[in-house]
């Protein structure tokens, strides 16, 4: 199916397009719903490279795909031993770091992406984090950024999968990116880059909307928009459940 679509796109492409290589891509889904039974999701990103002229020879074609969740300020704290117990002492606020970031590529990023291009497009995870002026907040501020990377990676929120993008005959590519259950709501940005010899030849951006649905949506919106009504509802639920279940038990017991 994907191949057919790609083939059709290749054949039907307008002849007036530029002479370079261009990305044509699709996603298996444009929206992810967080419902009560949400345990994570997997999205398939697929596409093809459109060419007007024969593929250039020389450096091989490589594909890099990133999926990025909404960026938030992140507060990183470090524990120290004080009075015999471990408590948070130093703290660094990182301006903006993506809540989720996955990089998939056809090969090792060091080889297929130059430093300049990485800086320009903010492709690798450390580049996607904006930590300006943190040096003033703690003595060894960079270790806090390392800690953020480590913790988010352990939680499955940051990932780097080299070789996870399959490229067939320098034309068709596909990758699966797993979204974990601990996602936050928002627009997730999917970026696809074509590189040759470390230089980005073409880039394409798509969005996936991650939203809470059903009961989850109802409770979250109510909790933040009508907190008093939500608090009272929590009480009603507690009283009805506590009292009702006790009454039901009494009926069951002869």
Interacting residues toward another protein by CB under 8 A: 34-40, 72-81, 84-88, 91, 93, 99, 144, 147-148, 150-152, 181-182, 184, 212, 215-217, 219-220, 223-224, 227-228, 230-235, 237-239, 241-243, 245-246, 249
Cβ of residue 207: shortest distance to another protein, in angstroms? Answer: 18
Cβ of residue 186: shortest distance to another protein, in angstroms? Answer: 11
Strand, coil or helix: what is 45?
strand
Q: Quick one: how far is CA 196 from the chain centroid?
A: 25
**Closest to 34 in 3D by CA, of 229, 183, 208:** 183
Strand boundaries in 37-127, DSSP class E: 41-51, 61-68, 71-82, 85-98, 101-105
Among left, alpha and beta (phi > 0; psi -120 to 50; other), residue 251 is: alpha
| 45 vs 157 by CB, closer to another protein | 157
Strand, coil or helix: what is 19?
coil
| 119 vs 215 by CB, closer to another protein | 215
| 172 vs 230 by CB, closer to another protein | 230
Instruction: Give the whole-angstrom CA distance, residue 244 versus residue 199.
Output: 67
| 185 vs 202 by CB, closer to another protein | 185
Cβ of residue 212: shortest distance to another protein, in angstroms? Answer: 7
| 44 vs 232 by CB, closer to another protein | 232
Cβ of residue 241: shortest distance to another protein, in angstroms? Answer: 4
């Amino acid at each position: 199916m994907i191949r057919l679509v790609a083939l059709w796109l290749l054949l039907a492409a307008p002849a007036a397009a530029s002479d370079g290589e261009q990305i044509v891509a699709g996603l298996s889904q444009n929206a992810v719903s967080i419902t009560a039974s949400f345990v994570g999701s997997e999205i398939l990103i697929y596409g093809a490279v459109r060419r007007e002229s024969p593929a250039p020879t020389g450096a091989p074609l490589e594909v890099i795909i990133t999926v990025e969740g909404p960026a938030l300020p992140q507060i990183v704290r470090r524990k120290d031993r004080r009075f015999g117990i471990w408590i948070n002492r130093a703290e660094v606020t990182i301006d903006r770091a993506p809540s989720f970031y996955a990089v998939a590529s056809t090969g090792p990023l060091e080889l297929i992406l130059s430093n300049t291009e990485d800086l320009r497009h903010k492709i690798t995870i450390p580049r996607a984090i904006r930590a300006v002026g943190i040096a003033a907040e703690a003595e060894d501020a960079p270790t806090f950024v390392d800690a953020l990377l480590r913790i988010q990676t352990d939680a499955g929120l940051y990932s780097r999968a080299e070789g996870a993008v399959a490229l067939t005959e320098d034309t068709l590519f596909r990758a699966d990116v797993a979204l974990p259950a601990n996602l936050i709501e928002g627009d997730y940005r999917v970026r696809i880059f074509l590189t040759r010899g470390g230089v980005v030849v073409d880039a394409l951006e798509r969005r996936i909307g991650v939203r809470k649905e059903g009961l989850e949506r109802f409770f979250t919106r109510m909790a933040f928009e009508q907190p008093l009504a939500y608090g009272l509802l929590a009480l009603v639920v507690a009283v009805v459940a506590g009292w009702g279940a006790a009454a039901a038990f009494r009926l069951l017991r002869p």
